[in-house]
Structure 1
């Protein structure tokens, strides 16, 4: 599959969308932007809600692929998660199917498997085939999105790469992030690989840099052509000095999802 000429980027005004707006064009992608609120500095961005099915059809018309970052990215009420993340993702897939778009890259999350115990010591890395164990309604919506992607591949032949994103920020801010951090540059590398790899069917990958303290298996991401260049270890000494090592007796540190399992941050809107 050649590099897409045009990619619809949903959630373009969000934190991750803003990072990718700046980084993906260098990988050869022309971005069409969509968000439910105006995108600063982008007067041509499409302003539409994922509930607006006609606007979604118009937004996907003629694109080569979709990078779907839109939705609620923290915990919220089930009703809000249902509307934004579950129904909204379904509406996007239907619009793409109706307009003949054959590739979607879906922003899943490690919180789809958040109640999976984190590796300790010599434990093996967590495989992509580990069963869904969502830690929140948010994580549940990402489990749904992965299953929806599988359904659309099996029934309609629409390809998806579901990326279980860890924490994509300029640098990690706590000790847990040393294991799940994805640098913005590596995020762009991974999304580029997911947009351009051939014959992906429905592929699930973990989204992080090649961290020394990595908890999960990146082999399916590397099979797409992803070659991560960054490692969180350069931040480790400072963070551990400030916060200490992870405590096996602390419930916040027991599972892959961290404090999402015990006291999840709540979407402010």
Structure 2
């Protein structure tokens, strides 16, 4: 691999209830199968146990892995993902959450080819969900819509995102539940429409310990209000309606 890899796979990692190392090892196994090889894996580690470090050590001879300790930052996905992106050296930043994985061995090759078009600044890929790490369900092709920042997610998790490095675009560290929609909204404002790869390249793992399963109504209300204050409400009726729908839904 070159000193400046073509792609940096940016993975925010933490203990994940003791399963973090196992999920990461499974993801590493799929990364090692990729047909495209000029990539590094950047792990931003907020774990307190040894699982993440052990998984990295186990694959050190098969992948170029850089493990970066990040225990002083906010203990949340947005801050941890940003830290991985900050330490990346690649020309393309490919976000991949620890419990998700690339389910197609040509995934990185397809992402790279999309960026060969000079007009391409960000890419979204097709995805599916998995409960057992093998069987894929509910395939989803990303679709842009203006309500994305309000949590009407027709794109999927941040694991489907890749963007060109060198732009001052980051996940908002004040957000957890809406971090993905806010990021997509920021990319759309900066770059215009994304390039969409419709093939199912990413598997999003469903399990009891995932962050989205523990999002409270209070947090949802706070983030909806924060999003309104941050970006304002457009004059379009759909924007106001989306805000009110999510806020009232969070009231219960």
Range into which the TM-score falls when normalised by the shorter chain:
0.3 to 0.5
Instruction: Please report the TM-score for the alignment, with normalisation by the length of structure 2.
Output: 0.34
Instruction: Please report the TM-score for the alignment, with normalisation by the length of structure 1.
Output: 0.32
More strand as a share of residues: 2
